[in-house]
Amino acid sequence: MKVTVLFSTQEGTTETIAEKAAADIAKRLNGTDAAVEVVHIKEFNIDSLPKRSPNDPVLFVLTTYIDGGPADDAAWFGSWLEDARFDFRVSKDSLSKLRFSVLGVGDSAYDENWCLFPRNVDTYVSEMAGVHIAKSVFADVGVSNGPSDLDAALADWTGACIKSLLAMQNGMGYSADGSTTEESAPTVVDEFEVLDEEYVTSDEEAEDGFDGVIGDGSDAGGEVMDLEDLGAFASAGLKAARKAKEEDAAAAAAEDGNLVIRKKGAAAGAGNHTREMITPNLRKNLEKQGYKLIGSHSGVKLCRWTKSQMRNNGGCYKHTFYGIESHRCMETTPSLACANKCTFCWRHQTNPVGVEWRWKADLPKDIVEGALEKHRAMIKQMRGVPGVTPERFQEGMDVAHCALSLVGEPIMYPYINEFVDLLHEKSISSFLVTNAQFPELIRTLKPITQLYISVDAGTKESLKKIDRPLFSDFWERYNACLDEIAKKEQRTVFRLTLVKGFNVDELKNYANLVRRGKPDFVEVKGVTFCGYTGNNPLTMANVPFHEEVVDFVKMLAEEISDEYEISCEHAHTCSLLISHKKFKINGTWHTWIDYPKFHSLVRSGAHFTSMDYLAPTPEWAVFGDNRKGFDPNMTRVYRNKAKYEGDPEGYKEKIRDAKLAAAAAEKAAAAAAAEL
């Protein structure tokens, strides 16, 4: 018997799952004549499926991608199957020899598209007379407990497959529900069911009548569990035990040599991917990226500019544009989840997603206190570092700004208003970035110091390509968010991230969006390359040069020149600011913020607008100044100072050449990979 575990993946999770399943199966079939192989779908000859011997089952482990469709590697398999299924010339029992089962991987946050592709594969193969050796199971990476949780689904599915495979080896019958018979020929119950699709963890649904019982109880080993027990069911201990078991299985199988892994090069991104808001795996992942986690859904991270300004080596663009003291700025988020899968996301697609809040909500007080504590602990590590004076160290400990822009969608957090109240009570300013998918939450958001909206694309098509949103009405939501922004009276900012080859050609569309949202400011920045993984479409070639950003900004400013003008530049981060002309008072830009005034306005409870807490912009920050946005009170550090000072133009040229070479090399590598 040859068991083929056939996987498709976009970003690597499903590959890991397939390997775990195969290792477990191989271990359990050890000592029989069965061989187990893990095969990447691109390496598999699909035309051989109809001829496959019933003795050589195929276990599909398939991910779900955009609009519920297949990952790129399985696109042709999807169309092969569909063609075969609907082509009247193909016999309806053409897969009658095939013994199979499907483990689908997807995220229920995608509603009706949850595991759509694996479900279709399951349906089509059944309709062409393929025979289940075990019930197909659909796993939900969006929950951390319950029967459709990835770990539980994997364990159930693998267990059922093993049972049938052992029965086949022993010449016994088997059924899709995992029971065996004494008959020598296989008896197959050709039906399957999704493991408790209705199972949800949200408080809301619990209120809607969820009684804490999973299915009929059979899913949990015959027990009926209540909600408290679910916590234990998903406890770290159980998971650790499972993991250890899986690792043992992999090691033993590899030792015994009945497991073969056949896949295409580096098929996908690395290891541990995500399930739920801060599950043990996600925690590890985020901590590896330098996040300090608070409670069950919040994070804080020390920004490089905080460290830089602590040493008086320069602040971030927010220092240049708005007078933020970067060394007193805490970067945090009360929601690591969001409703997108942006191509340029810093979290390398490991983010939990949802179209609404559906997790336990920690108290705002605990998040604010926890974030301050962890932020200060990171600042403490800067004590004694060259350039950090006792004054600046003390200022660093005394947080004055909070950038709610780390990752995730902060306004999804149900207590966001209470959260910003707590910041303001502590005289901490609030800069909040939202991703333009929740107009109703923007509407109900209280006045904050500065409200950002990410305007990632000028057209529906490129928004879909860049942000890869969950909502099907994402474009309508995007526009509704702009309408809400237009109604806000305190400072509003459009944040444009230019991605070469994706959105830089949409000048006129952007101009229309600015006219619609009427923001006070438009910040434009080139996308930052942060080592995107897996099949992420971005490469260094998508990162625009500073001059390209400047050219774009000049053209955009020209389009909206009746009301806006370029005001500031921070060359170091390729960022420029276009401001509404009302901030140019008597010929002087007033893009900076009077923070004490903002706090006294909030405390007064009086009505106020963005014109009530402004401050003049220093000359060095103004566009056109030869200091290019670098604060002259600080000392710039060049990594290659000698070279730069000796021949600044030549040095810039070299940097440019190096970037171009890197971009060309990436393109060539991608082309070569595509050809393989």
Binding site for ligand FMN (CB under 6 A): 9-14, 63-68, 71, 105-107, 110, 113-115, 141, 273, 341, 349, 468
Cβ distance to ligand SF4 smaller for residue 503 or 567:
503
Q: Which of these segments, 60-68, 234-242, 407-415, 617-625, binds ligand SF4 (CB under 6 A)? A: 407-415
Stretch that binds ligand SF4, among 24-32, 406-414, 509-517, 602-610 (CB under 6 A): 406-414
Nearest CB to ligand SF4, comparing residues 26 and 109:
109
Taking the complex as a whole, the smallest distance from the CB of residue 338 to ligand SF4 amounts, in Å, to 3
Nearest-angstrom CA–CA distance, 170 and 1: 11
Applying CB under 6 A, which part among 162-170, 254-262, 342-350, 584-592 lies near ligand SF4? 342-350
Question: Which residue, 144 or 340, is less far from ligand SF4 as judged by CB?
Answer: 340
- CB under 8 Å to 128, separation ≥6 — which residues? 84, 85, 90, 92, 93, 94, 95, 96
* Residue 426: closest CA among 365, 488, 335, 490: 365
Residue 13 binds which one of ligand SF4, ligand FMN, none, with CB within 5 to 8 A depending on kind? Answer: ligand FMN
Of residues 10 and 340, the one with the C-beta less far from ligand SF4: 340
Q: E strand or H helix at 364, and its extent? A: helix 364-380
Nearest to 544 by CA among 566, 569, 523, 525: 525
Is the Cβ of residue 301 or residue 590 nearer to ligand SF4 in the bound state? 301
Closest residue (Cβ) to ligand FMN? 106
Which segments within 305-425 are labelled E, that is strand?
329-333, 401-404
Least Å distance, CB 291 to ligand SF4, is 12
| List 351, 430, 539, 579, residue binding ligand SF4 (CB under 6 A) | 351
Nearest approach in angstroms of CB 212 to ligand FMN is 25
**8, 74 contact by CB (below 8 A):** yes
Taking CB under 6 A as the binding criterion, the range among 172-180, 341-349, 355-363, 572-580 that sits at the site for ligand SF4 is 341-349
Q: Which is nearer to ligand FMN, 274 or 490 (CB)?
A: 274
Nearest distance in Å: CB 333, ligand SF4: 8
Q: Beta partners for 470?
A: none
Q: Smallest distance, Å, CB 434 to ligand SF4?
A: 9
Rank residues 119 and 341 by Cβ distance to ligand SF4 and give the closer one: 341
The nearer residue to ligand FMN, 168 or 194, going by C-beta atoms, is 194
* 454 within 8 A of 495, measured Cβ to Cβ: yes
Of 84-92, 227-235, 343-351, 495-503: span binding ligand SF4 (CB under 6 A): 343-351
In this structure, are residues 98 and 49 in contact, taking their beta carbons and an 8 Å threshold? Answer: yes
Q: How far apart are CA 83 and CA 457, in angstroms?
A: 35
**Closest distance between ligand SF4 and the C-beta of residue 226, in Å?**
34
Q: Taking CB within 5 to 8 Å according to partner kind, which of ligand SF4, ligand FMN, none is near residue 340?
A: ligand SF4
* Residue 477 in contact with ligand SF4, rule: CB under 6 A: no
When binding is defined by CB under 6 A, the residue of 132, 275, 347, 348 that contacts ligand SF4 is 347
In this structure, are residues 30 and 65 in contact, taking their beta carbons and an 8 Å threshold?
no
Q: How many residues does the chain have?
A: 676
Q: Is 407 in the site for ligand SF4 (CB under 6 A)?
A: yes
110 binds, among ligand FMN, ligand SF4, none (CB under 5 to 8 A by kind): ligand FMN
C-alpha–C-alpha distance, residues 9 and 7, integer Å = 7
Shortest approach of ligand SF4 to residue 347 CB, angstroms?
Answer: 6
Indicate the residue among 153 and 453 with the shorter CB distance to ligand SF4.
Answer: 453
- What does the H/E/C string look like for 560-607? CCCCEEEEEEEHHHCEEEEEEHHHEECCEECCEECHHHHHHHHHHCCC
Under the binding rule (CB under 6 A), the answer on residue 435 touching ligand SF4 is yes
| Euclidean distance between CA atoms 598 and 449, whole angstroms | 7
The item of ligand FMN, ligand SF4, none sharing an interface with residue 352, based on CB under 5 to 8 Å by kind, is: none
Q: Which is nearer to ligand FMN, 279 or 349 (CB)?
A: 349
* SS3 at position 315: coil
Backbone angles phi, psi at 278, to 5 degrees: 40, 65
342 contacts which partner out of ligand FMN, ligand SF4, none, CB within 5 to 8 A by kind? ligand SF4
Smallest separation, CB 269 to ligand FMN (Å): 7
Alpha helices in 131-274 (DSSP H): 150-169, 203-207, 227-233, 236-256
Alpha carbon distance 292, 299 (integer Å)? 6
**Residue 514 CB-density burial (10 A; 0-12 exposed, 13-18 middle, 19+ buried):** buried
Rounded to 10°, the helix 13-28/236-256 angle is: 60
CA–CA dist 194, 353 (Å, integer): 22
User: Judged by CB under 6 A, which of 267, 342, 388, 499 binds ligand SF4?
Assistant: 342
Rounded to whole angstroms, the Cα distance separating 368 from 593 reads: 23
Question: What's the min distance (Å) between Cβ of 291 and ligand FMN?
Answer: 19
Q: What are phi and psi of 103, to 5 degrees?
A: -110, 115
Which of 340, 350, 539, 567 touches ligand SF4 by CB under 6 A?
340
Considering all CA atoms of the chain, what is the largest pairwise distance in Å, rounded to the nearest integer?
Answer: 94
Which of ligand FMN, ligand SF4, none does residue 29 bind to, with CB < 5 to 8 Å depending on kind?
Answer: none
408 binds, among ligand SF4, ligand FMN, none (CB under 5 to 8 A by kind): ligand SF4
Decide if residue 273 touches ligand SF4 (CB under 6 A): no
Q: Which does 134 bind (CB under 5 to 8 A by kind): ligand FMN, ligand SF4, none?
A: none
Q: How far is it, in rounded angstroms, from Cα 455 to Cα 32?
A: 59
Please provide the DSSP assignment of 237-289 as one string: HHHHHHHHHHHHHHHHHHHHT-EEEE--SS-S--S----STT-HHHHHHHHHT
Which of ligand SF4, ligand FMN, none sits in contact with 338, Cβ below 5 to 8 A by type? Answer: ligand SF4
Which CB, 474 or 630, lies closer to ligand SF4? Answer: 474
Question: With respect to ligand SF4, which residue has the nearer C-beta, 219 or 409?
Answer: 409
Contacts for 252 with CB less than 8 Å, ≥ 6 apart: 27, 30
What separation in angstroms does the CA of 362 have from each of 234, 335, 418, 450?
Answer: 19, 10, 12, 24
Taking Cα atoms as reference points, which of 112, 121, 126, 140 lies closest to residue 192?
126
338 binds ligand SF4 per the rule CB under 6 A = yes
Q: Which stretch binds ligand SF4 (CB under 6 A): 64-72, 97-105, 334-342, 510-518?
A: 334-342
Contact status, residue 202 vs residue 358, Cβ threshold 8 Å: yes
Shorter beta-carbon distance to ligand SF4: residue 106 or 408: 408
Q: Give SS3 for 346.
A: coil
Which range binds ligand SF4 by CB under 6 A, 164-172, 403-411, 474-482, 520-528? Answer: 403-411
The binder of 12, among ligand FMN, ligand SF4, none, by C-beta within 5 to 8 A per type, is ligand FMN
Q: Applying CB under 6 A, which residues contact ligand SF4? A: 338, 340-342, 345, 347, 351, 407-409, 435
